[in-house]
Amino acid sequence: MTSSFYPPQRTLMGPGPSDVSSRVLGALCRPTIGHLDPKFLQLMDEVKALLQFAFQTDHALTLPISAPGSAGMEACFVNLVSPGDTVIVCQNGVFGGRMKENVERCGGIAVMVEDTWGEPVSLDKVEAAFSEHPKAAIVAFVHAETSTGVRSDAAAICALAARHNALSIVDAVTSLGGIELSIDKWGADAAYSGTQKCLSCVPGISPVTFSDRAVERIKARTHKVQSWFLDMQLVMGYWGEGSKRAYHHTAPVNALYGLHEALVMLEEEGLNASHARHLRNHRALVAGLEAMGLGMAVAPQDRLPQLNSVLVPEGVDEAAVRSALLEQFDLEIGAGLGALAGKTWRIGLMGFASNERNVLFCLNSLESVLKAQSANITSGAALSAAQASLSAA
């Protein structure tokens, strides 16, 4: 007889999912009601308004896709890319490659702007790509590259796109709630995110937003959107305003309770306060890591406060360190991906997990495991450096 599953209590400091607060977990346990229940329709309207706040946008087409962040990405591409479209795709990590895959599956032509992993997207290279492909319809890029911990200049890239009469698609999976994301101010046309990063909700929902220009492009399509489930013109029949909704799919009712609570918590804290908290804890973590003798993979001005890419010391078995942290301390950190596999660890300080306790716990646990591996580190300096940083903030 199979027994019920009871997961261990972990501290999640990897690239996601992040720790979920008891308020959000409590919201998930509330009674399930129908996805067309009048009370649930009210909640849907509140979720849309809260997402507009989080994205800093007035875009009417702002909603949560009933699937994880990868589906949000696909929703943007399948609705905006038609066969034969030229799309400039910026890649400086794993997720730019996934954008390329989406463009090609839509029948588009991907023009790649490639930068070294761990460095931001080069504006000069994007400008050069427009010079070579003046009819490019879209620029797609990752704002906060989860695989490397680097931030690109979203405002400048969106401005470049607008100047060349192209739409912009922004991967904001790791940025929403953690750093500034000003969709309307920057003129971004489409953006997608995930609930499991800085929003600290459970995985499985992807917030998206589309500008009026993007909606016009969707309405002007001559080819059907290749995905029925992600066709925004159909989805909006369910997520439109008011009480009259057309059935499209059964929304994940309880998961949306959780998202609503997570967004209420973000609204209560305030976006600026959330960004400041992430930055304060990031600086303390980096101070501790550097005092220990570890280096960072990304230049200071380009680092993401919510996703820290740490260089693995020479001679250290990075996978063994991660395993020991999980087994001995119930602490999860992430491995490097792609070009950085085996060379970096990714330490997340996202959403609810971005707090002083986690900073100090991670430093203490990591030092203990590295000492057991006889790594060449400075013992006893990390905690005092992190505490000094926190006190000075």
Q: Tell me if residue 137 falls in helix, strand or coil.
A: coil
Number of neighbouring beta carbons within 10 Å of residue 236: 19
Which domains occur in the chain, in start order? 21-268 (3.40.640.10), 271-392 (3.90.1150.10)
Cβ-based neighbours of 305, under 8 Å, separated by 6 or more: 178, 179, 275, 278, 279, 281, 282, 283, 349, 354
CA distance 65 to 51: 12
* CA dist list (Å): 317 to 64, 239, 338: 40, 49, 17
| Lookup result for tokens 């009819």 | 135
Phi, psi for residue 150 in degrees, rounded to 5: -115, 145
- What separation, in Å, do the N-terminal and C-terminal C-alpha atoms of the chain show? 54
| Lookup result for tokens 């070009």 | 339
* CA dist list (Å): 213 to 26, 165, 238: 39, 10, 21
For the record, the structure tokens of 133 come out as 């492909």
Per-residue pLDDT of the chain in tens (393 residues, 90 and over written 9): 999 999 999 999 999 999 999 999 999 999 999 999 999 999 999 999 999 999 999 999 999 999 999 999 999 999 999 999 999 999 999 999 999 999 999 999 999 999 999 999 999 999 999 999 999 999 999 999 999 999 999 999 999 999 999 999 999 999 999 999 999 999 999 999 999 999 999 999 999 999 999 999 999 999 999 999 999 999 988 998 655 788 999 999 999 999 999 999 999 999 999 999 999 999 999 999 999 999 999 999 999 999 999 999 999 999 999 999 999 999 999 999 998 999 999 999 999 999 999 999 999 999 999 999 999 999 999 999 999 999 997
Nearest Cα to 218, choosing from 77, 87, 59?
77
* CA dist list (Å): 66 to 75, 140, 204, 262: 11, 22, 7, 16
CA distance 87 to 209: 19
Q: What is the dihedral of CA 321, 324, 326, 328, to 10 degrees?
A: -150
Nearest Cα to 98, choosing from 154, 65, 57, 141?
141
Per the document, the length of the chain is 393
- Max alpha carbon distance in the chain (Å)? 65
CA distance 142 to 120: 9
Q: Tell me if residue 147 falls in helix, strand or coil.
A: coil
- The secondary structure element, H or E, covering residue 166 is none
How far is residue 20 CA from its own chain's centroid?
A: 15
